[in-house]
Structure 1
């Protein structure tokens, strides 16, 4: 069934639909005609309201749980509301200042990412998520230290001062001074580049015959660069905080859904791949329930926004995940502001 544009609903149906959705998002409970007649400010009888509710249900925008006479929005209805009717509540000056203050507390960028994830959880009452930036470090120095006849330790120093160690398997017997020669080659000729840039420049020099390295040393240089790149792909890519928020009183009757959601969050790689779609789109993304197959069973919503470095490049994604009754009008602009604030910290 195709979703009707909101403009195809008459004023009466649009207003009743809006009240049902907002009431459900606030309480998590179906909204009945008596509630709408008494508290919704509608100049309509309960019978007239029920007629409109039935019409909205036939359009696939509302559903009536078998345990209640009230209505609640379907995923289709929520999508229509989010895309065409939602009035967002921009963060207040106090909220913006509080977010920026927490993000600018002294500490490494990793601490800021932890803070962002917890902050998003606090804002949404759900779980907060932050993808670690895909930032290739730039090399300042690399040293190769012999460990045995077939192994060496690569000590890599980034321009940010970060020091990392990697064990390199030697492909062949290295002549005396070979390790030092390879180290000096990388440091002298490739410093200041990312790993990808370094590998490209190195191969160009070798192919052009400008490198003075022998074959064994060239192989060692390749291995020394590659081992850092390969290890980086194995690092955690997602920080999740606030999973406990998913276990509130409203979930007690739907514990299987919550268990499914928590299982999904444990598979961080799959969640990260979902968030990556916001990176590729370079814009805010909202996934509602089964719109994404990863959360089809848990019936959860994801609000995700990319964050950029100071040059405007997308370097990561942050967002929240929780039940479909998230307060979209409040959470969406807060996620967007947090993404922009985090971007100011990324060099």
Structure 2
């Protein structure tokens, strides 16, 4: 978008992803439900980490993964998130900047350590996420750079961070700044666990016009609309937001803008499904880049589908192939 320095600026959990393989027996022994997401305290995170196999550690978090995808697609990405002044905070900062993502948030001293997400991937490619929020949920409005928000065509927010009062206040202030500057605000529902406790305020936020673009998967849209029927849920929510984008598993993805619905099938790349970690994050990356570049819904959906297909074809939540080349060739 002309007149902006960044295509997308995200606010989200600044955590270090620790990804390792695990067996079903290991999950059972640890009392973990496959495919679920649970929140850990510092002691629980330390104990589980000690039991994990050799792991890969990278800057992570849902919105941070999306910004890595935006940068990989050639978009101008920025990220706002709170880390601590510790070793994992240094890993996060170096890693996300090395990906080409602008990260200006100063580290915080004297509070919680940097957050981390312990991700266990079973042989069937399902990921079980165990998150210690740490410093990420100490983000405050004081950490925002108003000029950075004004300089981004799209402000992208994740529901994982919405659950804590301080970060929620920061997001609300960022939305105010973005809309005052004539920018668009996108919001991802992130996980069904984020929705039920905040359903009323999320619906109120949509009805107040605070969100221009809403991302959801089919389970999240059902939870938000409080109905078991996916199509009824989409119909209910699409009336409350200018642009709704929903991923529907094997059926592909759907975008509804002002009553006009566009669908795209899933893309198939490489060896198929190896690890589903980051699929929704990278789908959002492709769609956001398409929108920032002024592309239509069909092309934006296609870009999202390609980015998601690439990330699930290998281990980890970050793209490994040249996403720009894949989009150009498809």
TM over 0.5: no
The TM-score with structure 2 as length reference comes to 0.25
The TM-score with structure 1 as length reference comes to 0.24
Which structure has the highest helix share of the two?
1
Q: Which has the larger radius of gyration?
A: 1
Which structure has the highest strand share of the two?
2
